[in-house]
Homo-oligomer: A and B are copies of this chain.
């Protein structure tokens, strides 16, 4: 692992020497190489999906594992989109001067080597490699064994793209086998190892990484996201936003899990919203007040308020206005994404200011909590910690900085 990290670091140095244009050329070549390797990637994937299915993998797992031509085009398009992004390396973030005449500039530089540990989504390999290359970083990719065939083909294409652009293929590394020792080594090396490890996957993976890592970890925990519909909400916006937040894709972390609805509008709006959700196949679990308004819903237990369903299930609670909603959110939010639907500016300001989450939406679907939607070209995950980066993590979040101080001979004396 130390040798892999050293090779990735050498690759990062080459990326830095290549400059923004060189990195852009590499990303374009990577996208093309992935398109060119479609056949091999899809064949490897079909085999692995078949194996997983025969082993009885569940629907959500198979969905994460499966690539088809459309999805693979999406992966290549994602890499191409990252090629079009502004290069974050060398950007001067601020500059100020001091009374003694020294001038201080804060400049973005690559983070170094990033380890990405992921599970069954093979597209993570391409997204992570592309974002790391854009930010001038070397990367160690360690995917789950169920997708290792697919991942291997994708990484092969990514490396071919780098070579095509005259850059070392060693910039992107992956262990030669599925031995778990590689993960242990990646997490425990602190001198000469990765500068940052990003786990992408379920809770057990993330807990394991957090517990065992000596290196800094940027992790994405649960997405228990709420939509609050205020008395002053526009009814159509409210319905559209609840439906999109919950049902656009149910297995993703930015999907809503709980609807909080102001008691002042619940009788008016909840029946229509509930009807539309049920039509789309969503199971509803309500508190007592909401079940009085919409009979026939399952009751929500205390546990429901803390559950990330990752499925077509929504818990519903009637609350006594914005302050009660804030209280519920403060207690149950996972700090990922929260949505406030209201036409009242004061309520919106109060809530966007009081809620402590990575992303707070006013009158927009939780589905916009996403690197692509933020204009980052893609994302390596959505960070729910408080250090370094929070929310969608794109190339700019995979940099660090240095200060350059410009003097004319100043001393402190």
Contacts and interface: CB of A to CB of B under 8 A. Distances in A.
Contacts of A363: 406-410
A353 to B, nearest CB: 8
Contacts of A352: 404
Contacts of A362: 404-407
Copies of the polypeptide in the assembly: 2
Interface of A: 90, 96, 98, 102, 104, 109, 111-112, 190, 195-196, 210-211, 214, 216, 218, 234, 236-237, 240-241, 243-244, 248, 352-353, 356-365, 367-369, 373-375, 385-388, 390-391, 400-413
A165 B109 CA distance: 41
The residue among A234, A248, A362, A404 with the most chain B CB atoms within 10 A of its own CB is: A404
7 contacts: A104-B375, A109-B356, A216-B216, A360-B405, A361-B407, A364-B408, A367-B412
Contacts of A369: 405
A357 B375 CA distance: 30
A410 B357 contact: no
Q: Report the 9 A-B pairs with minimum CB-CB distance, sorted nearest first.
A: A364-B407, A244-B411, A237-B409, A367-B412, A388-B388, A363-B407, A365-B411, A386-B400, A216-B387
A411 B367 contact: yes
B413 A387 contact: no
The residue among A96, A359, A363, A411 with the most chain B CB atoms within 10 A of its own CB is: A411
Given A408-B363, A411-B241, A386 B236 contact: no
Contacts of A387: 111, 195-196, 216, 218, 387-388, 400
Contacts of A190: 210
A404 B390 CA distance: 12
A360 B214 CA distance: 28
A57 B287 CA distance: 65
